[in-house]
Structure 1
């Protein structure tokens, strides 16, 4: 039996608020976008090193759910104004957990039960940070660069 395709779905703002350096950027309105950019950069490294596809979901303000992704890049969703990122994460987990290996990273305890019931697994932002740091260290070893 072939290995299941693996996905890591992140509650983007939950991770930003859980990681102090990203939270500090996000709290400065003029620099808010830098927190998202740094999170996405670090998720690209994780995706490249682990082979697990990364999907980052943010709350949005538009009239419909929007999605962006370059070929082989991290996939980014913005929920529409009528839905939360949490609701979109739960929908994605419910729809795909039976077909793919799904992990969800959020600090929001309210969605843990929902994703668990769908068959997805939960990880904390702290565990995600550890995995990212390992991936970054591996890149540094392979390229001979310091982190």
Structure 2
């Protein structure tokens, strides 16, 4: 089961993976695999007084279930299987992190599960938190935003109106679920355009260095 945490991005997930996530995330049961319960904070690096201050790291906190129910595609998946909807959201955010390079924490409620302990796992290049019993995703996100507001640039993605008011009070930036989707789609579109531009430039450079007779032979073969 540990393969789910280390699977290469883009590799298909089978039904057993979804059942695994459901077992460990929603029902509070322990499994035999070794979880990477990593601290969500990066290691503190030594600094010198003479060095200029570095730009602050950005953390994107996502209210998982709020986004799932706000995105039509995920909502339809959730109607059939919440496990599949969760995995789709995590894959989408993992892909986005590969472009944006910020820290991403996705928080899911587990407050109704008796005896549930808080669980933090690593999914590819993002962090996933399942809250403990009697703690909502809102409460986890609000505490994180308040505790770390002076150290990091924090962006919270949620469409919960009350939580938005509290997050603003903590000085964090906000994205609605709809805005988050727009930001992700734009990032992928820009990445695609950049890739296509590099490919065109590479072909143009290749045409400049290939001798005319060789190019003619290639054209004749085509």
TM-score where L is the length of structure 1: 0.88
Equivalence for 2:119: 66
Equivalence for 1:137: 189
Higher strand share: 1
1:17 and 2:92 aligned? no
CA distance in 1, matches of 2:193, 2:173: 30
Equivalence for 2:158: 106
Q: Does the residue aligned with 2:120 lie in a helix, a strand or coil?
A: strand
Equivalence for 1:53: 103
1:32 and 2:85 aligned? no
Cα pair 1:45 1:135 within 8 Å, conserved: no
CA distance in 2, matches of 1:143, 1:59: 38
CA displacement at 1:139 relative to structure 2: 4.0
CA displacement at 1:142 relative to structure 2: 5.3
Specify every segment of 5 or more residues in structure 2 that has no aligned partner in the other structure, as ranges. Answer: 1-52, 197-222
CA distance in 2, matches of 1:142, 1:34: 31
Specify every segment of 5 or more residues in structure 1 that has no aligned partner in the other structure, as ranges. Answer: none
TM-score where L is the length of structure 2: 0.60
Point out the structure with max Rg over C-alpha.
2
CA distance in 1, matches of 2:153, 2:75: 29
Number of equivalent positions? 141
